A and B are shown apart, each in its own frame.
Chain A
């Protein structure tokens, strides 16, 4: 069964460093998403992406964040200058079309020191 995959599973970085989190969505899906979950808090929406552009973003997704689909398979989230409060589990998701169920990857745990 096709799955969303994410790498790395755990990323440790120093405050102020750039990180890139990688995702491979399910191959025939067209809509891609990033969510995050700070420990003990809700899963929060960050951004949705369709047809090579951002279709929606949350207040969390400020200028420090960017997304890209550099090729036909990968979908990346970049944080330019990490802050302590960026420490969280980051989930990638994809869906074949809008407004239906999204399929989630296993997540990348980001720890900012």
Chain B
């Protein structure tokens, strides 16, 4: 069965620090990869997605992620975080041709301090 691992459960950064959140998945087939964000009191929102093509994808609010197939990874990055980036971040995977379900990681709670 497919699974998604997020290694950082809680991250605390100061404003302007760089961010990298790890995501690894276990499946050898063709995957679609997503990062969702949940701001306090709000619902899950799509941050960025990867289906095919350029492995470096850019999303909203200055976030980007890189798909490294050989490492089964899809890490999320932002060069300079802001206080407003405080949220929970979820990596998710679906399998092309394998149904539509999303398999989520456990989430990473990011707190950005002023």
Please tell me if the beta carbons of A43 and B46 are within 8 angstroms of each other in the complex.
no
Please tell me if the beta carbons of B101 and A105 are within 8 angstroms of each other in the complex.
no
Instruction: For B100, list chain A residues within 8 Å (CB).
Output: 31, 33, 48, 55-56, 95, 98-99, 102
Instruction: For B104, list chain A residues within 8 Å (CB).
Output: 35, 42-44
In the assembled complex, A58 has its CB within 8 A of some CB on chain B = yes
Q: How large is the interface on B (under 10, 10 to 19, 20 to 34, 35 or more residues)?
A: 20 to 34
In the assembled complex, A85 has its CB within 8 A of some CB on chain B = no
In the assembled complex, B34 has its CB within 8 A of some CB on chain A = yes
Please tell me if the beta carbons of B43 and A48 are within 8 angstroms of each other in the complex.
no
In the assembled complex, B44 has its CB within 8 A of some CB on chain A = yes
In the assembled complex, A107 has its CB within 8 A of some CB on chain B = yes
Instruction: For B94, list chain A residues within 8 Å (CB).
Output: 99
Please tell me if the beta carbons of A104 and B103 are within 8 angstroms of each other in the complex.
no
Residues of A within 8 A of B (CB): 4, 31, 33, 35, 41-45, 48, 55-56, 58, 91, 95, 98-107
